[in-house]
Structure 1
Amino acid sequence: MRVYLFIAAIAGGATWLVTPLIRHLAIKIGAVGRVRARDVHTVPTPRMGGLGMLFGFAVAMMFAYRIPFVGGLFQGSSQMWVVLAGAVMICLLGMADDLWDLDWMLKLAGQLLISVFVAWGGLQIISLPLGSLVTASPSISITITAVLIVASINAVNFVDGLDGLASGIVAIGGIAFAIYSYIIARSSPSYASTATLIDVMLVGICVGFILHNWHPAKLFMGDSGSMLLGYLITCASIVMTGRLDPASIHASVYLPVFMPILLPVLVLFLPVLDMCMAIVRRLRKGQSPMHPDRMHLHHRMLKIGHTTQGAVLILWGWAALIAFGSLTILFFEARYVAVGFVIAAAALTVATMYPYLRRRIPEIREENAALEAARHAGRKRRDGEGE
């Protein structure tokens, strides 16, 4: 565990140190986001922060390569190098979008090509738990892997609308994934786990970037960052769910570990929900699924009356509840987990609606008082007419 914490600290420290340099570079080359109608910020802010996170991830990987405990993960397998190569390509694609605002179809095509390359390079969902462990054909495996990566990339991209929101949600998901994969790795002769390694580096770069991205943000992650985070958390999920022997895992761990489609949805529930709602909303209006609007979850939170920081913290809370709610099933009985989940959900619901209720309740009281006064006046008028 100490090795993983050290690697996470390296990733976070490297990201934190290099991000100010990336900010100056973004300003110099013109990667500055103009204020659009759908944006929350009011001042043009440099983006391309994903390059700093990629640097932190690469530095942490170089350290991990030299550490004996996890260095064996790089021997006899190209999986980690494939992950790094994919990270570089997806970040470069995002940087191109940060600079030139690529057409959404071109960007989607690039995401799909990179995802297919990564899957072809060996990062694949090898099997799916459909009753028994069913081995998929290579073409089906590559297709499912590529679709899952592209979906997660865009889910994180959709939710990246407030300072610190996307990086915080992904960090929470990375911690949950790391705990899952670490528990699973303890059943093997070595505690070293590729999934855990990716997760802790992911959490490190998220924390390192948040220190510069908290409101008011000095730098946005841009598509280079949101796409990178969605890609990395999905890679960790694929590694964890695709190559484990169910016979060696306790039955209570089986379901959450061998559901490669379910895990990203649980951990990235808010981004996935936001993406699905946006697609349905836009298609119903006859618009492109990528047509921008101001109806995302974070926009709704601001309309309720939350500050930017308050909205981010509450959405982090929902993300943590959903991610760690599934994790607690490994340690406690389902009924206790359900009770705790309901209590926490109720508390978060109150916190979510509090600004609206604080504003609306006095309005309701005034409306009721006015209605009662009108009724009282009507009764007095009828009594006067009766006399």
Structure 2
Amino acid sequence: MSGAGVPLRELGIVLLVAAAITYLATGPVRSLLVRTGRVAEIRKRDVHTQPTPSLGGVAMFSGFVAAIFLADQLPALTRGFAPVTPEMTAVVWGAFAIVVVGVIDDLYELGALTKLIGQILAAVLMSTMGLSFTLMYVPFQGGTTLLLDQVQGSLLASVFTVLLINAINFVDGIDGLAAGLGMIAGGAILVFSLTVLHDQGGAVSAYPPAIICAALVGICLGFLPHNFDPSRIFMGDSGAMLIGLLLAAASISASGKINMSLYGTADVVALMSPIIVVAAAIALPVLDLIMAVIRRVSQGKSPFAADRQHIHHRLLALGHTHRRTVLVLYLWVSAVAFGAVSFSIFPAKFAVALSIVLLVFAAVATAVPALRGKIGPQPPQPTVIVHSADPR
């Protein structure tokens, strides 16, 4: 143990193994796809000019499974596995199911309804196997928690998981974006889980989200070198939906299983920090998803219809380059997610000040093209790489 009840060293090993296996497996996966001609063909709605392999999720899943297997062998982390808790078994099977759906979609392009059914089945599988909400904290009620029965908890967890899967899938429209957001969001929830492990002396309920997030951060970190602009391989639906499911799993485990009444009622923000962190971590993809659905339905289109009005498209229109657009989005997600988690670590006044500084920094970075002004000839419009697996 690296601290009281906090297995930092072991979680660090899990993260590094996930990153290394994912990084090493991505090359062979890409080579196999290129040799067999399994590459994403250029379609009318795509703007990338080179056919690109789109099964990076297979390498990411390989890294995840290897990391979870290792974690199960480490004595300091065994409290996060069966028979103590069924959550890790549930998330592995849920991840396997969603990757199977994603691989089929990447290779044969499933219809929207068929893919949604597959997502629901994976979410229901994970929730019924033991990863579902059991406790919901009620703010301003003296630390009251609501107990959910199995049906209520599983239903809520399944809906939440499907929402997260589609949110990440929708935002996966530019090189490096989904992997970076998954890494940042997972990192924020990991920090919260480590805080709970420290404060509660190694609470069993905090082990699964910490392990899941360590593996999630690792697979995203390992895939990014292959996927950052210019991308040599796309993660495809198999990767984007895997990130969404793992983020949902960590969120459910962190906010649904940790009894926040143990912290007292003096600081409402600190008490609500698991929910706030979860909301902050998924704020960007969910906002993008909601805006896309409203926009398309208001125009009389299907909510699944592709367009080029996502947040990253708007940043490109402001004058940001491809890479800078991704970095700006990283900044916003980092500012909100880590600003929120800071309330569970620092005094409220310091946390508020830190959150404001982070948000101002992100706002200034966003406004840089406008602040610079349009002087001289305009630079060429950067190429937007919309992933052929799912550009929505």
| Common fold by TM > 0.5 | yes
Tell whether 2:51 aligns with 1:52: no
Question: Which of 308, 315, 326 matches 1:312?
Answer: 326
**Cα shift readout 1:24-74 (whole Å, capped 9, x = no counterpart):** 233345442223444453211111100000000001111111111012322
Unaligned runs of 5+ residues in structure 2 are: 1-7, 378-392
Number of the residue aligned with 2:116:
108
Deviations 1:253-284 (A, max 9, x none): 32112x3xx54321011111111110010010
Separation in 1, partners of 2:130, 2:190: 21
Structure 2 equivalent of residue 42 of structure 1: 49
Q: Deviations over 1:201-233 (max 9, x none)?
A: 100000000011111111000000000000001
Q: Normalized per residue, which structure has more helix?
A: 1
Q: Write the deviation string for residues 56-112 of structure 1: whole angstroms up to 9, x where unpaired.
A: 000111111111101232231332111111101101101111111111111011101
| Corresponding position of 1:93 | 101
Greater Rg by CA: 1
1:156 matched residue in structure 2? 168
SS in 2 for 1:33: coil
Q: Using the alignment, how far apart are the partners of 2:376 and 2:232 within structure 1?
A: 38
Specify the SS of the correspondent of 1:186: helix
Per-residue deviation, 1:246: 3.0
Q: Does 137-146 or 340-349 show the bigger shift? A: 340-349
Distance in 1 between residues matched to 2:71 and 2:328, nearest whole Å: 34
**Counterpart in 1 of 2:125?**
117
CA change 1:337–1:184 in 2 (3 A) is: closer
Say which SS state the counterpart of residue 199 (structure 2) adopts: coil
Matched letter for residue 230 of structure 2:
P
Corresponding residue of 1:256: 273
Letter in 1 for 2:314: R
8 Å contact 2:95–2:122 — kept in the other structure? no
Report the equivalent of 2:336. 322
The verdict on how the C-alpha distance between 1:247 and 1:304 changes in structure 2, with shifts beyond 3 A counting, is closer
CA offsets per residue over residues 103-129 of structure 1, 9 Å max, x none?
Answer: 111101110111111111111001212
Alignment of 1:170-189 (within 5 A): 170-189=182-201
Render the CA deviation track for 1:117-173: whole Å, top value 9, x for unaligned: 111111100121234211123222111100100000011111111111111111011
Using the TM superposition, name which of 31-40 and 320-329 deviates more.
31-40
Q: How many residues align?
A: 360
Deviates more, 1:39-48 or 1:213-222: 39-48
| Cα distance in 2, alignment partners of residues 31 and 322 from structure 1 | 38
Partner-residue secondary structure (3-state), 2:272: helix
What are the ranges of 5 or more consecutive residues in structure 1 without an aligned counterpart?
364-387
Structure-1 separation of matches of 2:371 and 2:45: 26
Task: Report the 3-state secondary structure (helix = DSSP H, G, I; strand = E; otherwise coil) of the residue aligned with 1:219.
Answer: coil
For 1:158 and 1:316, the matched residues in 2 are separated by 16
1:195 positional shift = 0.9
**Which residue of 86, 91, 101 corresponds with 1:83?**
91
Answer yes or no: is 1:5 the counterpart of 2:12. yes
Q: How does 1:262-281 map to 2 (within 5 A)?
A: 262-281=276-295
Q: What code does the residue aligned with 1:50 have? A: G
Deviation at 1:361, TM superposition (A): 6.8
Measure the CA separation in 2 of the matches of 1:288 and 1:265. Answer: 26
Higher relative contact order (CA 8 A, sep 6+): 2
Distance in 1 between residues matched to 2:300 and 2:38, nearest whole Å: 31
SS at match of 1:102: coil
Equivalent residue for 1:291? 305
> Structure 1: which amino acid aligns with 2:130?
G
Equivalent-residue separation in structure 1 for 2:15 and 2:92 (angstroms): 16
| CA–CA distance in structure 1, aligned partners of residues 345 and 277 of structure 2 | 18
| AA at the equivalent of 2:16 | A
What is the match of residue 3 of structure 2? none
Partner of 1:371: none
**2:14 touches 2:70 (CA, 8 Å); kept in 1?**
yes
Contact 2:188 2:341 in 1 (8 A): yes
CA shift, 1:357, in A, is 4.2
Q: Report the aligned-residue RMSD.
A: 1.9
Which deviates further from its counterpart, 234-243 or 35-44? 35-44
